[in-house]
Amino acid sequence: MEKIVMENMKMQKQKSDRGFTLLELMISMSLGLIVMAAMASLFKTGMNSTMLVTQRAETQQNMRAAIDLMVKDISMAGAGLPSGGIQLPLGGGATTAKFGCDQGGTCHVVNHTYPTTNYMYGIIPGYANGVEAGVAIPAAPAPAVNDSITVIYCDYNFPLWEYNVTFPTAPTGTQINLTVNSAYAATPPPAPNAAGGIQAGDLILINGINGVTAVGEATNVTANSISFANTDPLNINWSGGTHTNNIYAASGGTGYAFPVPVTVPQTTQGTAYRLYAVTYYITVPGAGQTPRLMRQVNGLTPVPVADDIINLQFAFDTYNSTTNALDANQVDPLGVGESPNLIQKINIAVMGQSIINDGNKSQNMYLATSVSARNMAFRNSYK
């Protein structure tokens, strides 16, 4: 009996041991929640950092691709053009020639005519002329100035110069005939209308016929000829123009002023090159799409270069012949009376917005570079 009582006392003693109090449970739960909150905050910070890096990386990659293409074009500005550029047709019913326009008649920058009485420079600055139809870009930083740029140079990829250029027996200035130069007969060039060749809307530069350097817009191309119809979409083929730098003047036609100096050798055969007139600008597509950088060549359909480009600005280092020094960072050389022929360096600034959004958050960043236009003005810094 005594033994049973003792065992019952032990069992009662064991049952009387205390557990966790409510206060202890609350403290331990609070500590656990603090640790979990810290871990969640750390995880969120890591995710935000990953998103930030991803946004910046893809934005920078997008802008670098755009700048690389612009640098390639801009560095070629003026290549193959006569020194100082080309005077396009004037008078005789001719209207100012256009750039940045396609074959359908749509012009993709607001100011799309050649400056200073229809003159074709190697570089045409487009201050505050950088958005199609002048549409506002809300994401662009204030003051929201967007520029365009047009650069013009000879295309040395398609060997049009391996053809001899002649005119039909009755020259009208609306067509040139092409025959392979004997020097290239063994390995003849591709036909003018071959893939990657000349197409309607391309600009053609002709040298050496009757002492004239002429520019025309191709309106039709065959395997052995290029046509230049009057009233072309870019207003370049005006046969009645009183200036000699058009196809009609080079053909030896009549009905225009064509004072060829007697010192210039008279020839009936010349060489042709394709010109590239390349315009960069920003367009804002419909249906809520984001702004994109466009590249438009000659009279052809523009193509997108990069999406989510919200700001495009150019500044120019221009040689000042009066002070014999550089006027640096001129945003509007034409507006202050400086000649684009004297541009030495082009400074480019592009602002992009991240394509990937983190909720309503986007990352914006600038990328800037400078390009020396090697075929434009040169100033000897060591004299």
User: For residue 10, is it within any domain?
Assistant: no
CA dihedral 92, 94, 96, 100 (to 10 degrees): -160
Under the banding of pLDDT at 50, 70 and 90, the label for residue 260 is very low
User: For residue 69, is it within any domain?
Assistant: yes
Given this model, what pLDDT does residue 358 score? 54
Q: What is the rounded distance in angstroms from the CA atom of residue 92 to the CA atom of residue 240?
A: 5
Given this model, what pLDDT does residue 254 score? 41
- Residues written for the chain: 383
Kindly report, residue by residue over 333-345, the tens digit of the pLDDT: 999 999 999 999 9
List, in sequence order, every beta strand (DSSP E) within 14-147: 86-87, 119-120, 123-126
Under the banding of pLDDT at 50, 70 and 90, the label for residue 263 is very low
User: For residue 381, is it within any domain?
Assistant: no
User: For residue 55, is it within any domain?
Assistant: no
What's the pTM?
0.83
Q: Which residues contact 216 (CB under 8 A, 6 or more apart)?
A: 203, 204, 206, 228, 232, 236, 237, 246, 247
Domain that includes residue 354, residue range: 62-372
| Sheet of strand 309-320: strand arrangement | 325-330, 309-320, 343-353, 364-372
DSSP state of 101: B
Number of domains in the chain: 1
Q: What is the rounded distance in angstroms from the CA atom of residue 109 to the CA atom of residue 49?
A: 39
Mean pLDDT, rounded, for 181-197: 93
Task: Identify the three-state secondary structure at position 344.
Answer: strand
The backbone region for 281, taken as left when phi is positive above 0, alpha when psi lies in -120 to 50, beta otherwise, is beta
Q: Which residues contact 163 (CB under 8 A, 6 or more apart)?
A: 178, 179, 180, 181, 189, 192, 271, 272
Other CB atoms within 10 A of residue 190 CB: 14
User: For residue 377, is it within any domain?
Assistant: no
Kindly report, residue by residue over 225-256, the tens digit of the pLDDT: 999 888 899 999 876 656 556 777 777 654 33
User: For residue 75, is it within any domain?
Assistant: yes
User: For residue 356, is it within any domain?
Assistant: yes
Kindly report, residue by residue over 124-159, the tens digit of the pLDDT: 999 999 999 999 888 888 888 999 999 999 999 999
User: For residue 44, is it within any domain?
Assistant: no
